[in-house]
């Protein structure tokens, strides 16, 4: 009798163990797959890390026909993962509620996203979007729409893969982060994503000190008279993309740069791009101190103003916003922006914030980011 009871207890324990291991436990995750031409390969489940130090969560070995199973006792939390076979992988976007995932494909076409994932709707959507993207069936606008409208986990995966991480994409990643913090506030992935964005932003941000303004800050107001005496405010151009251009008629490099500014203005003015030109013509206090009489100062001032006007006409600077206090290096506007040499430019977005510092050689690329 004791032998029967003991045998029954052992049998029950074995059954219980088998039940737990077969599906990874009640709160676990089972990942099954059949990948052609992956015969007898080692298979790994990795958690994706932004510093490329992938964390291995599980492993298995494919059978002779490429079938494999990876069971986890505890399902991983929301985040980005991959099932890796050799140097090929299947990307997974998991929200933490998945119980069983089935993967099918061919090892030779995994890199083109020619595989299927069942049991993880976010992973399926990711695969479909990426497949279209590499076939160039998704436009830039379509990608932007997806990043701004899809589930934030999926959006973060798309933004990470397509936009990568750079100073220029930080704004898009921050928009995704705001939605992640709302939908998945306690997920470790949300915290890791936020931390990586902060690192990228800090690395890409120009060092403070070269100018008195910085990217992301509101552009300080400038309100100066034009040639006709009418005061023109920089803030009056809010809603447009504005190139704030510090220059002067006597500045050779400025005059050489003007044709490119004109060309860019003519190309993008229909899209809401314009220029606000601050001239450092006129006389500063040092120059005035060398002149003997008020009449001399007035005569030199009128000559400088005439040269400013002549340069505008000769260089065909067709926009209306030309201003100056005719104080040369004593200009209050140049002090506000920390301008120590010219030409110096600042690109201002539609909200009136600094978007780029002195974009002389990549002006068009910076404008296109704001369109």
pLDDT in the model for residue 9: 42
- Report percent pLDDT > 90 for the chain: 71
Using pLDDT thresholds of 50, 70 and 90, give the confidence band for residue 208: low
Could you give the count of Cα atoms lying within 13 Å of 344 in the half-sphere of its Cβ? 16
Least confident of 25-39, 42-56, 94-108: 42-56
Closest CA to 95 of 159, 192, 186, 23: 186
Domains and CATH numbers, the chain: 23-130 (2.60.40.10), 139-204 (no CATH), 223-370 (3.40.30.10)
> What's residue 18's pLDDT?
36
Instruction: Supply angle C-alpha 170, 174, 180, rounded to 5.
Output: 140
Residue 53 pLDDT > 80:
no
Average pLDDT score, the chain: 88
User: Is the pLDDT reported for residue 200 higher than 90?
Assistant: no
E strands, the chain, in order: 29-36, 42-47, 55-61, 67-72, 79-85, 88-94, 100-106, 115-118, 223-225, 231-233, 241-247, 273-279, 322-323, 344-348, 354-357
**Token reading at 313:** 């006409």
pTM of this structure: 0.53
Give the separation between CA 91 and CA 123, rounded to whole angstroms: 7
pLDDT in tens, 20-30: 334 455 689 99
Other residues' Cβ atoms within 10 Å of the Cβ of residue 217: 11
Give tens-digit pLDDT for 1-27.
444 444 444 443 433 333 333 445 568
> What is the strand order of the sheet 273-279 is part of?
322-323, 273-279, 241-247, 344-348, 354-357
pLDDT in tens, 320-331: 999 999 999 999
Helices (H), 24-166: 121-134, 140-149, 152-158
pLDDT confidence of residue 361: 86
pLDDT of residue 168: 58
């Amino acid at each position: 009798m004791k032998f029967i009871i003991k045998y029954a207890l052992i049998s029950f324990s074995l059954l219980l163990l088998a039940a737990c291991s077969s599906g990874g436990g009640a709160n676990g995750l089972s990942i099954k797959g059949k990948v052609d031409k992956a015969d007898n390969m080692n298979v790994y489940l990795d958690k994706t890390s932004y510093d490329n130090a992938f964390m291995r969560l599980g492993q298995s070995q494919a059978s002779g026909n490429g079938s494999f199973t990876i069971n986890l006792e505890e399902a991983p939390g929301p985040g980005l993962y991959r099932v890796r076979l050799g140097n090929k992988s299947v990307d997974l976007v998991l929200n933490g509620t998945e119980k069983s995932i089935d993967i099918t494909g061919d090892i030779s076409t995994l890199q083109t996203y020619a595989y299927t994932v069942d049991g993880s709707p976010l992973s399926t959507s990711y695969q479909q979007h990426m497949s279209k993207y590499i076939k160039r069936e998704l436009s830039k606008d379509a990608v932007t729409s997806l990043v701004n409208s899809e589930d934030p986990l999926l959006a973060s995966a798309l933004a990470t893969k397509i936009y990568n991480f750079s100073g220029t994409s930080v704004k898009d990643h921050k928009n995704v982060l705001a939605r992640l913090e709302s939908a998945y506030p306690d997920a470790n992935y949300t915290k890791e994503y936020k931390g990586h964005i902060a690192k990228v932003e800090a690395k890409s941000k120009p060092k403070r000190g070269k100018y008195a303004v910085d990217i992301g800050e509101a552009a300080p107001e400038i309100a100066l008279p034009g040639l006709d005496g009418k005061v023109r405010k920089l803030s009056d151009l809010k809603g447009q993309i504005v190139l704030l251009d510090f220059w002067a008629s006597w500045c050779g490099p400025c005059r050489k740069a003007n044709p490119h500014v004109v060309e860019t203005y003519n190309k993008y003015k229909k899209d809401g791009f314009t220029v606000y030109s601050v001239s450092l013509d006129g006389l500063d206090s040092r120059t005035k101190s060398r002149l003997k009489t008020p009449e001399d100062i007035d005569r030199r001032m009128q000559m400088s103003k005439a040269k400013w006007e002549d340069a505008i006409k000769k260089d065909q600077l067709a926009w209306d916003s030309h201003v100056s206090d005719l104080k040369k290096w004593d200009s209050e506007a140049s002090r506000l922006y920390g301008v120590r040499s010219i030409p110096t430019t600042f690109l201002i977005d539609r909200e009136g914030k600094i978007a780029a510092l002195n974009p002389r050689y990549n002006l068009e690329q910076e404008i296109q980011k704001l369109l």
